[in-house]
Amino acid sequence: MAVRPQNTHDGGIVERRLRPIYDWLDNGNNKKAFQEAEKVLKKSPSLQAARALKALALFRLGKGAEAQTVLETLAQEKPCDDTTLQAMTISYRESQQFHKVCALYEAAVKVEPTSEELYSHLFMSYVRVGDFRSQQRVAMALYKFAPKNPYYFWAVMSILLQAKTTDDPTKKGILLTLAQRMVDNFISENKMEAEQEARLYVMILELQEKWTDILRFIEGPLYSQLVPGSTAQASIPYLKKLSDWRRLNLVCKELLFDNQDRWDYYLPYLDSVFKLMDNTDSDNDNSVDDTAEKCHEFICQLVESMTSGRTLRGPYLARLELWKRLSVHGDPTTLLGSGVALCIQYLRVFANKPCAVPDLKPYLAIIPQKEREEHCRDFLTCLGFDENSEPESPDDIQRHISCLCAWQLTSPVRTGEDYLNIASLLRYQYLRCANKKLITATLTEFCAADGYGTLAAHFYFYAAVKQQSATPILEALSLLELVLHNSPSNFHAKLLLITLYHVLGNGPAADSVYRRLEAKHVQLLSLGWIHAARLAPGLAHTRALRLLADTHAFHKHHGKDCMEHLTYAYKYGTFEKLLELREWGARLEACAWCSLAGRERALLPLLAGPTAPMHAPHPLPDPLTDNRDLNAIVSWEQPQYNDPGMKERSFDHDVAYLRLKDGIVSCIALCIECADNRSLDEKKVQLDEMQTCIEAFSSAMEKCKEKYSGKQRLCLSAPFPSRIIAFVNSPVPYRELYVLMVSVVRSVCAGDGLASRDRGTALRPLLAASREHLAAAVHTDLWAQRDTLEFFSNYLEFVGVITFLLGVCNEVTAQNNKKKSKRKTNQSPDQILTNQMLSVLNDDVQDIVSFLEEIFDNWPSFDYNNSLEEQMTKLDINDKYQCPVKQKLKDGIQEIVADVKTMLKKKSKYLKSLQ
């Protein structure tokens, strides 16, 4: 029989005694919470809630074993009061023991089999572990003694999730049929009460592809009662599935008359028009738009029906979309006129909106390049502006900027000098606005005039790429810093600043802006390519480790957060979100950037220290997912530069680089495993695995060198060229260096002195040759600094790895010597030769470290001057603003050089300690 809590105290007294423990736990003072729990337990030793809170305090103090003992004792007593159970649940959740929560509540419901609250908690505990079958069982048991609709539909949703996750088509069909029958029973008994219950029924029918049944249900009285006013909208996807284009056309037309700006109605409407145009069995129904002419007439009616002063973008964009689709089939000009004229008309109407040109971009790309370039100035002058216009009002400023952006997108490719001239004009426009107090940004909103500054930065970048010069980048940075000074919330300026600082290879300067961006949670993943991924190749290792730790923490805890979101979805009956949350969680779990961040976090400490314990990495997810947001930075490059395969190609590069890093980390982890004092037979599995890993890494490096030899174009709104390009195409033979060094460690661990000496002898000339490339890699051109730092980043990473592996070899030989000394036997000649070889290798690495110290002692200095302050003086702008770019760049490179020199000194000291 379960031990029941002794109710010898009044509930109010118990609550008063427990309150201080809760307060200390909430405040994070776990030591005080533990002491307070001990005080309570002295007076009431059997009080289960106090013991549960004591266990929680112990766990948070890092005393997991003691906490576990207390929890196990409590679990045997089978508590059923909510206070105790909740405290134990928190402890189990924080220690990732979710299954124990299930067992805890299973025992509790046996003690109180009619407790609705306990059964609800039991259901949610199974939600957290993803046990759908148990969810179904508990939900039905709950519904039997508490017949409420939510509980019944928890069971239905659990069945649907079982069907979604099974690979057996027969089982899936049976489960979905069962779920449908359960809901059908509720419908026939007229028990359905909520919108989400109706949506869940539709989800079940969707998985069975019963499109006709779905339509019948949506158009029935019950759906209208539960989800009023959405019948027509809900039927659109299913009419498409059934290819009922005539009905779809009529439904969309009806919806568009009342919702003229709903783009999600225009697209299916246009789909239906073009499908009906292809249908030869026309019955001349005038109510259906089955020709392009009727479609155009309908769109024109929508434009004309707009009330005065209320201009909506939807009908105008629909006309452009019609033109785009007709251009695929033939010549749309007979019906709609030229695409250029339509785009210019759209610009005239909506140029005062920041979204006008982004709306036009996909349609501008369809216009033939020659026609587009011939009419480029029409986009600039269509509202009476030109490049030298000086608008005064915010609306006119935004119109001018929209015209300038459209002009850039349609212009021919310019020379570097032309880009510089336009950038200077745009900078003048921004400074003019500043001088005339037209910049009205606040702490939370930015203003139209900021567009001059951000657009000028793009032109400066294009000039820099054309001229292969850093001078335009310095001008862009100085202008963007001023924009950000005046508009602290302008994220466009922040993203551009981060990217341009990285173009110059200055990670610390970029980091100063990134901190102001305040990226949080999932943005660590979606925007990781902009900043976090560039810190390590820019030799900002300490800053990189901090950001990688944040990324790892988010990735580690997102699963727990997702579990809580799942429970909320059940509590509030938002069943559609359950599927979204599960897909979202799976996507984050397989994130390629998180996997790479984990490998970087393992390797960087070998260089930047202190070295953390390294274990074999978790196997890479398959397939890896690409969670990058490549639309974060707006692009104003001409359409001919559009590269639809860029995202996929750059992701392929990153995955290849990740696999190489995974191979290196796996080899090092195996070296550590084999460095203990086990016998050779006990190590055999790891030694064989290490040999396989070495061969796989060598083969992968060779293939990557063949596949990724092409040079990538630098683009402002796309990721920088992948690190794999610089790594596999480096003049330094990294494949041979890594393979030989790991092979040396393997041979030393296996006690094969001859093999270790052979590999060590082969490694020495490669080390000497790699040293020759170091001096040649240093450039005095600021434009080349990013590539230079990436070169040294790869080499310093190797230095960190070889230094660490020499330490592993030293540990193995020291263990062997210790065993020999116990037997009072001198070292064998083979061991003496091996130790001599390792000592010579150590000397070679020390020479390289000294040579690197000399390089960084004489690191070139650069001129960071720009002309912004001079321009501000000419315009008599005296707001006591001091451009921070020069100081940021100087401080950034000084920080990089100082950090590298400190690292190298530590490596030198460590290597000497091994001799």
Partnered with residue 591 across adjacent β-strands are 625
Q: What is the mean pLDDT of each run of 10 residues along the chain (915 residues)?
A: 38 77 87 88 86 90 89 90 90 88 93 92 93 95 93 96 93 96 94 92 95 94 90 94 94 92 94 87 74 92 80 93 90 89 94 94 93 93 91 94 95 93 95 90 89 96 95 96 94 96 96 92 91 94 92 83 86 90 90 92 81 73 92 91 90 94 92 85 88 93 89 89 93 94 91 88 92 88 94 94 91 70 62 88 93 93 87 77 91 95 92 86
Where does 316-396 show beta strands of DSSP type E? Answer: none
What integer pLDDT is reported at residue 649 of this predicted model? 93
- Note whether 403 and 426 are within 8 A (CB): no
DSSP string, 168-225: -HHHHHHHHHHHHHHHHHHHHTT----HHHHHHHHHHHHHTT-HHHHHHHHTSHHHHH
- Region at 643 (left for phi over 0; alpha for psi -120 to 50; beta for the rest): beta
Comparing CA positions, the residue from 784, 912, 895 lying closest to residue 849 is 912
Topology of 1-112 in CATH?
A: 1.25.40
Do residues 612 and 908 lie in contact, with contact meaning Cβ atoms separated by under 8 Å? no
Q: Rounded CA gap, 499 and 86, in Å? A: 47
Q: How many of the other CB atoms lie within 10 Å of CB of 192? A: 20
3-state secondary structure of 591: strand
Give pLDDT, residue 3: 34
Residue with token string 């341009």: 500
**What does the alpha-carbon distance between residue 758 and residue 765 come to, in Å, rounded to a whole number?**
12
β-sheet bridge partners, residue 98: none
pLDDT of residue 813: 83
Cite the residue boundaries of each domain of the chain with CATH code 1.25.40.10. Answer: 1-112
Residues 626, 393: Cα–Cα separation, whole Å? 43
pLDDT of 642 reads 87
Q: Pick the closest to residue 105 from 131, 85, 87, 91 (CA basis).
A: 85
Smallest CA-to-CA distance from 834 within 758, 741, 768 is with 758
CA distances from 61 to 34, 58, 91 (A): 9, 5, 12
Angle formed at CA 506 by CA 459 and CA 469, multiple of 5 degrees: 40
Burial label for 403, CB within 10 Å (0-12, 13-18, 19+), is buried
What per-residue confidence (pLDDT) applies to 6? 41
Q: Which residues contact 124 (CB under 8 A, 6 or more apart)?
A: 567, 570
Q: How confident is the model at residue 36, as a pLDDT?
A: 87
State pTM to two decimals: 0.91
Kindly state the greatest CA–CA separation across the chain: 106
Residue type, 366: I
Which alpha helices (H) appear in 610-733, and where do they start and end? 646-673, 680-707, 723-728
In 3-state terms, what secondary structure has residue 766?
helix
Report how far residue 9's alpha carbon sits from residue 433's, in angstroms, rounded to the nearest whole number: 74
C-alpha 214, offset from chain centre: 36
Q: Of 816, 798, 790, nearest to 720 (Cα)?
A: 790
> Whole-angstrom Cα distance, residue 228 to residue 379?
45
- HSE at residue 727, side-chain half, CA atoms within 13 A, is 27
Q: Work out the number of other CB atoms within 10 angstroms of the CB of residue 159.
A: 24
